[in-house]
Chain A
Amino acid sequence: MIGGLFIYNHKGEVLISRVYRDDIGRNAVDAFRVNVIHARQQVRSPVTNIARTSFFHVKRSNIWLAAVTKQNVNATMVFEFLYKMCDVMSAYFGKISEENVKNNFVLIYELLDEILDFGYPQNSETGALKTFITQQGIKSQTKEEQSQITSQVTGQIGWRREGIKYRRNELFLDVLESVNLLMSPQGQVLSAHVSGRVVMKSYLSGMPECKFGMNDKIVIDKQGKGGSSEDGGKSGKQSIAIDDCTFHQCVRLSKFDSERSISFIPPDGDYELMRYRTTKDIILPFRVIPLVREVGRTKLEVKVVIKSNFKSSLLAQKIEVRIPTPLNTSGVQLICMKGKAKYKASENAIVWKIKRMAGMKESQISAEIELLPTNDKKKWARPPISMNFEVPFAPSGLKVRYLKVFEPKLNYSDHDVIKWVRYIGRSGIYETRC
């Protein structure tokens, strides 16, 4: 169980310190600062053990969040909690920065009291928290309202309160995916996976029951076997194999386990319905073809071609290709057909930006890099070329088949709900060796 939680600024000064258990002393604060934040070598591991005490840390911009424990806790639980904590904080006061943490420290302590009890994580649902931890002064609640909060928070459906009413029942569903790729210079895929999230925003009245369907291979196959012959062939091709997935607490897991159907009573407002990962049949939106030629000791010629590999009707956005340069670069000349390219000395890389690019196109950049002869004969390690982009489809091939809403008590039906579905595919670590 988490023994304590500390928040530091980039200098290692403690902004927030909350200790939940007696086995964590004051010196733990310093131990982390000395051994991790001020460490001579940058600490890579997110888990550090110092004197039989474990420190789990995450970093958000310049802020360090560290959970401390002396016990053998489930590390993934601790990290999940830390990420959740970040989400909650940013839901309350926006960006997590030193300034914001300092301005909201009372609120943070209040939140920490609420979401961790003696080191055990409690309800960390932003929506629910916001009902009783508020930022502005609100008019004092009546007795009934207070008791309602208690019963709701401790009740079976802790993430949604009763009596919500909207004039327009609306629902937004985003499929957000990030593609990760490592490709050899010859174009061989060394590793690739997609990690995706289904994020929803719901404005629904009452206590609606929702059912979410997608082209999950297992479900489709089962149905295919069931005998619905008319779309068996078609959907069988389009179904995807999900390697693993996790759900928001509102989803009934028992139903998913037995029928693999996703049914839930949604929280109000923003939430993440599910996360998943796929590794098979990924559509790689871009192909990077590098060509590096060393001309003598003092010159390097680099040519990079990118090809977009999706329907020509779709437009990719925010394309950025980052070509690392050797550490002894003394000058760079660039020619590119499209977009803008620049040598960024501070990052030791050429950054090539293209605003928009349609599918089935290709573009090229060529660079001439001048090198300064150095003393040591260390060879340049040739780090991979990385790429960033955003495409309006799901590279995993995931499709939303339906999202049904039932509200038996209030009289609106599935047809009355306005639903918006959007697919966004982003690049994760999208690298090609050169």
Chain B
Amino acid sequence: MPAVSKGDGMRGLAVFISDIRNCKSKEAEIKRINKELANIRSKFKGDKALDGYSKKKYVCKLLFIFLLGHDIDFGHMEAVNLLSSNKYTEKQIGYLFISVLVNSNSELIRLINNAIKNDLSSRNPTFMCLALHCIANVGSREMAEAFASEIPRILVAGDTMDSVKQSAALCLLRLYKTSPDLVLMGEWTSRVVHLLNDQHMGVVTAAISLITCLSQKNPDEFKTCVSLAVSRLSRIVSSASTDLQDYTYYFVPAPWLSCKLLRLLQCYPPPEDGAVKGRLVECLETILNKAQEPPKSKKVQHSNAKNAILFEAISLIIHYDSEPNLLVRACNQLGQFLQHRETNLRYLALESMCTLASSEFSHEAVKTHIETVINALKTERDVSVRQRAADLLYAMCDRSNAKQIVAEMLSYLETADYSIREEMVLKVAILAEKYAVDYSWYVDTILNLIRIAGDYVSEEVWYRVIQIVINRDDVQGYAAKTVFEALQAPACHENMVKVGGYILGEFGNLIAGDPRSSPLVQFNLLHSKFHLCSVPTRALLLSAYIKFINLFPETKATIQEVLRCDSQIRNSDVELQQRAVEYLKLSSIASTDVLATVLEEMPPFPERESSILAKLKKKKGPGAVSVTELEDSKREGGELNGGGDRGPDTASTPSPSADLLGIRSAAPVGAAPASAGSLLVDVFSEAGTTTTLPSSSLFWLLFVCKNNGVLFENQLLQIGIKSEYRQNLGRMYLFYGNKTSVQFASFTTTPQLNVQTKPVEPLVEGGAQIQQVLNIECLTDFSDAPLLNIKFRYGGALQNLTLKLPVTINKFFQPTEMTSSDFFQRWKQLSQPQQEAQKIFKANHSMDTEVLKAKLLGLGTALLDNVDPNPENYVCAGVIQTKGQQVGCLLRLEPNAQAQMYRLTLRCSKDSVSRRLCELLAEQF
């Protein structure tokens, strides 16, 4: 409540409020309010006119009741009446009520706007201020519509009082924030900038908030403010504490204004004008100098104000990032704060230093404080400060101090707060990877990490270790040895078991020579952890076991025994059961050669962005991590995961070993091409990928009936194809597109086919595409598609791809038109049993006539109408041209719509051709 003079005090209101305060219970309070409301209603009934005082009193009571949380649905009219009063207190209460209770009620808004307009055009500064405050407090769109053009006029008018200008600037700011489209820039903008030169500091402070906000949208229009701001700033900075009288706060001249000026300057690049820049640098130096001076007062307000300016200045210096001298000075200043008594200061210093660390000029200077920061990490009592310290350590880390910092962070991790552990783990993992000179150190670090904070180690982290170990031959032995030792600890984290299982499964042979880690010992060690693990880990361990069978045939009996036991082969979990059954069968049926092929060592992973970085970035949001080299990398974790899940899908075909090798071609049709190209962690599902990637076989089938399209696609590479055939000759254009932003080095392709090729360029730039032309000649009929081998280096790792080229026998078809009688005559001629191939199969796609026709035409044959007596059936004829001979082919396709089945009959002059064509076509419909 405003302070009112004694004669003006509203006794009724005071009594009412004290009554409410004295109420014993909520019910009593509601009763009292109801009574008061009834009283006010009877007063407002309109029988007799109320004087201004009682109106004000009742409106005040209503306001109080509203603020207590009760609905008020009357009295608005009386409040609006108060607006036109000439008494300040009455007007004030009116405005107060309006700004608290107004809703977009159409009729009242017009009245209110009218009253506000009257006040704005009055010459009384207090009334103008009241009106402006009301506009700003309501700040609705309607208000903006009504007054957005009016207020700038008041703001820049020459005869407006200072206090009104202040209010007008802030009011305009508020309107601009709520509805920026309604506040139109105009000729007033340039005059607003000149308010920075105003005599009155209050006006400057208010105006600068407005300018900062406006200049963020239209920086160009307000460019002139930079020099004005700099001169204003230098005047303030150089003034003595007594110069600014009212605006000196605990011996600091105009701290708020200084901070705002510095913040405004942060919206613009460093000034180009040398004089202005010199002046600004001078200012900043003065501010830094002042920080060194002994404080003029012991009061906390004094140091707060001083430090506020200092920190704002430092962020300006960081923003400019062009003055090495200032940056280093700022860094030193912050270094002093690192040991300050005040926790808040230490926090701010750590935070600012974090940004300083990313600047090239001050990075070295920041590094000198490493000891202090490590100390802060260990001894700070406030977790948020420790968090900042950890951030700073991360930011200041480079090759020279990585080992120290990682070691410190690891040792801190043991005692770290739970809230920041996960982030710490990610940071350690990234630093270890980023600055690893020696990969055995990396492996040690990560294993340590899992040991110390296993629960917080996310999937990505341990995927990454495995990727790196697999890609680096030199650490594999060491890794195997280390995980073996780590697994010997009585209590092992599950993540450790995962890493251990995987690595021993792959590289257990590297340490098998030592009798202490003989195959059986390794297996027993792993199996001792088996029962303590969750289902996914168990699945992974089972895969490791089957790999063991391949690596060490002597363990076969033991492992088969384990697989055969009821807890595996009859496990209630489908995944585990299936793995147990399949692995058992695989190990007992397949020959050693097959085993060795299926369970071959994992091929190296394509070199990619570390997914951990992405995770950290996601966790903290941009800005918190000062890694500029980050680019948007895809979430690989999901894909890696997907691999583990997808394994059993593809392996779930009922037939045993024969199909296990061809897993890829049995990949479910529903699998999306993009995900099918995923990189797989899981040992088993990776087994078949040495020959052909799953996507290609899927894509490949599509090419039987068409000539152009995308043959292969994964995260790195996309291969497109365009081909044309004439008689026994063909020409194929292969387009290799690099999907990453990094170049592929030593890119080579070798088609395993008698084709003429021009060698491709060895380098494929990021995002670029190169073309290769293959000239193909068909010498004789064939059944296997030629293979294309692609090799390249992405990052450090060698990538190896083998694809089937979509060259099939039907590409060399020449369509032959013939009549019905001709057709049946030839059909009879080709009546030998070998010449005919027939297949009845289920439809994979919808039996749409148009689609079928298009496919049959795409096949290259002529589609013959009115030949078959049954119009449902399709009949085609064509001649396959090879260099040596021509093979005539007749085709008949009989769809059965009810059963969703087809019968396909082919008769060719050469029996191998008819069989091959039959196989090919059966997969098409």
* Residues of A that sit less than 8 Å from B by CB: 10, 42, 62, 327-331, 345-348, 370, 372-376, 378
Q: Which of B23-31, B337-345, B412-420, B605-613 sits within the interface?
A: B23-31
Bound together, the chains give a CA A372 to CA B58 distance in angstroms of 15
Chain B positions within 8 Å of A329 at CB level: 38, 41
B782 at interface (Cβ–Cβ under 8 A)? no
Q: What are 20 sample pairs from A and B whose C-beta atoms fall under 8 A apart?
A: A327-B73, A328-B73, A329-B38, A330-B41, A330-B45, A345-B34, A345-B37, A345-B38, A346-B31, A346-B32, A346-B35, A346-B38, A347-B31, A348-B38, A372-B74, A373-B74, A375-B76, A375-B108, A376-B73, A378-B73
Which of B25, B34, B44, B73 contacts A375 (CB under 8 A)? B73
Chain B positions within 8 Å of A348 at CB level: 34, 38
B829 at interface (Cβ–Cβ under 8 A)? no
Bound together, the chains give a CA A378 to CA B72 distance in angstroms of 12
Q: Is the CB of B73 within 8 A of A330?
A: no
Contact residues, B92-121 vs A (CB, 8 A): 105, 108
Q: Is the CB of B26 within 8 A of A330?
A: no
Q: Is the CB of B34 within 8 A of A372?
A: no
**B111 shortest CB reach to chain A, Å:** 12
**A241 shortest CB reach to chain B, Å:** 39
Chain A positions within 8 Å of B108 at CB level: 375
Q: Is the CB of B105 within 8 A of A375?
A: yes
Interface string of B289-327 (1 = CB under 8 A from A): 000000000000000000000000000000000000000
Query: Whose C-beta in chain B lies nearest to the C-beta of A343?
Result: B38
**A132 shortest CB reach to chain B, Å:** 36
Bound together, the chains give a CA A183 to CA B486 distance in angstroms of 80
B832 at interface (Cβ–Cβ under 8 A)? no
**A376 shortest CB reach to chain B, Å:** 5
Q: Is the CB of A374 within 8 A of B74?
A: yes
**A423 shortest CB reach to chain B, Å:** 33
Bound together, the chains give a CA A348 to CA B42 distance in angstroms of 13
Bound together, the chains give a CA A374 to CA B41 distance in angstroms of 10
Choose among B34, B38, B39, B73 the residue with the greatest number of A CB atoms under 10 Å from its CB. B38
Bound together, the chains give a CA A374 to CA B26 distance in angstroms of 26
Q: Is the CB of A347 within 8 A of B41?
A: no
Bound together, the chains give a CA A204 to CA B42 distance in angstroms of 62
Identify whether the interface residues of B are mostly helix, strand, loop, or mixed. Answer: helix
Chain B positions within 8 Å of A374 at CB level: 73-74
Chain A positions within 8 Å of B38 at CB level: 329-330, 345-346, 348
Q: Is the CB of A345 within 8 A of B45?
A: no
Chain A positions within 8 Å of B45 at CB level: 330-331, 370, 372
Chain B positions within 8 Å of A345 at CB level: 34-35, 37-39
Q: Is the CB of B24 within 8 A of A10?
A: yes
Q: Is the CB of B26 within 8 A of A42?
A: yes
Bound together, the chains give a CA A375 to CA B32 distance in angstroms of 23
Chain B positions within 8 Å of A330 at CB level: 38, 41-42, 44-45
Bound together, the chains give a CA A348 to CA B30 distance in angstroms of 11
Chain A positions within 8 Å of B24 at CB level: 10, 62
Chain A positions within 8 Å of B44 at CB level: 330, 372
Chain A positions within 8 Å of B39 at CB level: 345
| Given A330-B42, A345-B38, A373-B74: 4 more A-B contacts, CB < 8 Å | A10-B25, A348-B38, A370-B45, A375-B105
Bound together, the chains give a CA A370 to CA B47 distance in angstroms of 12
Chain A positions within 8 Å of B105 at CB level: 375
**B263 shortest CB reach to chain A, Å:** 38
Chain A positions within 8 Å of B25 at CB level: 10, 62
Chain B positions within 8 Å of A347 at CB level: 31, 34
Contact residues, B872-887 vs A (CB, 8 A): none
Chain B positions within 8 Å of A375 at CB level: 73-74, 76, 105, 108
Query: Whose C-beta in chain A lies nearest to the C-beta of B33?
Result: A346
**B35 shortest CB reach to chain A, Å:** 4
Chain B positions within 8 Å of A327 at CB level: 37, 73
Bound together, the chains give a CA A58 to CA B45 distance in angstroms of 42
Bound together, the chains give a CA A375 to CA B104 distance in angstroms of 11
**A424 shortest CB reach to chain B, Å:** 27
Query: Whose C-beta in chain B lies nearest to the C-beta of A348?
Result: B34
Bound together, the chains give a CA A377 to CA B19 distance in angstroms of 31
Top-10 shortest CB links A-B: A345-B38, A346-B31, A330-B41, A346-B35, A374-B73, A330-B45, A346-B34, A372-B41, A345-B35, A10-B25
Chain A positions within 8 Å of B26 at CB level: 10, 42
Chain A positions within 8 Å of B76 at CB level: 375
Which of B31, B32, B35, B41 contacts A328 (CB under 8 A)? B41
Bound together, the chains give a CA A378 to CA B74 distance in angstroms of 12
**A381 shortest CB reach to chain B, Å:** 13
Which of A10, A42, A328, A331 contacts B74 (CB under 8 A)? A328
**A425 shortest CB reach to chain B, Å:** 28
Chain A positions within 8 Å of B73 at CB level: 327-328, 374-376, 378
Bound together, the chains give a CA A345 to CA B37 distance in angstroms of 8
Chain A positions within 8 Å of B35 at CB level: 345-346
Bound together, the chains give a CA A10 to CA B25 distance in angstroms of 6
Choose among A62, A345, A373 the residue with the greatest number of B CB atoms under 10 Å from its CB. A345
**A237 shortest CB reach to chain B, Å:** 46
Chain B positions within 8 Å of A42 at CB level: 26
Chain B positions within 8 Å of A10 at CB level: 24-26
**B50 shortest CB reach to chain A, Å:** 13
Chain B positions within 8 Å of A331 at CB level: 42, 45
Query: Whose C-beta in chain A lies nearest to the C-beta of B42?
Result: A330
Bound together, the chains give a CA A347 to CA B30 distance in angstroms of 9
Query: Whose C-beta in chain A lies nearest to the C-beta of B74?
Result: A374
**B62 shortest CB reach to chain A, Å:** 12
Chain B positions within 8 Å of A346 at CB level: 31-32, 34-35, 38
Bound together, the chains give a CA A347 to CA B24 distance in angstroms of 17
Bound together, the chains give a CA A42 to CA B73 distance in angstroms of 22
Bound together, the chains give a CA A328 to CA B38 distance in angstroms of 8
Bound together, the chains give a CA A10 to CA B38 distance in angstroms of 26
Bound together, the chains give a CA A289 to CA B232 distance in angstroms of 81
Query: Whose C-beta in chain A lies nearest to the C-beta of B103?
Result: A375
Bound together, the chains give a CA A374 to CA B108 distance in angstroms of 12
Query: Whose C-beta in chain B lies nearest to the C-beta of A40?
Result: B69
**B904 shortest CB reach to chain A, Å:** 66
**A104 shortest CB reach to chain B, Å:** 20
Chain A positions within 8 Å of B32 at CB level: 346
Bound together, the chains give a CA A330 to CA B42 distance in angstroms of 4
**B623 shortest CB reach to chain A, Å:** 36
**B107 shortest CB reach to chain A, Å:** 9
**A102 shortest CB reach to chain B, Å:** 15
**B614 shortest CB reach to chain A, Å:** 36
Bound together, the chains give a CA A189 to CA B793 distance in angstroms of 88
Bound together, the chains give a CA A376 to CA B101 distance in angstroms of 13
**A167 shortest CB reach to chain B, Å:** 47
Bound together, the chains give a CA A167 to CA B689 distance in angstroms of 106
Query: Whose C-beta in chain A lies nearest to the C-beta of B108?
Result: A375
**B676 shortest CB reach to chain A, Å:** 45
Bound together, the chains give a CA A346 to CA B19 distance in angstroms of 14
Chain B positions within 8 Å of A62 at CB level: 24-25
Bound together, the chains give a CA A374 to CA B75 distance in angstroms of 8
Chain B positions within 8 Å of A376 at CB level: 73
Choose among A62, A329, A330 the residue with the greatest number of B CB atoms under 10 Å from its CB. A330
Query: Whose C-beta in chain B lies nearest to the C-beta of A378?
Result: B73
Chain A positions within 8 Å of B41 at CB level: 328-330, 372
Bound together, the chains give a CA A283 to CA B423 distance in angstroms of 74
Bound together, the chains give a CA A330 to CA B26 distance in angstroms of 24
Bound together, the chains give a CA A378 to CA B73 distance in angstroms of 10
Interface string of B643-654 (1 = CB under 8 A from A): 000000000000
Bound together, the chains give a CA A376 to CA B106 distance in angstroms of 12
Bound together, the chains give a CA A374 to CA B24 distance in angstroms of 31
**B415 shortest CB reach to chain A, Å:** 28
Chain A positions within 8 Å of B34 at CB level: 345-348
Interface string of B1-37 (1 = CB under 8 A from A): 0000000000000000000000011100001101101
Query: Whose C-beta in chain A lies nearest to the C-beta of B31?
Result: A346
**B748 shortest CB reach to chain A, Å:** 65
**A373 shortest CB reach to chain B, Å:** 8
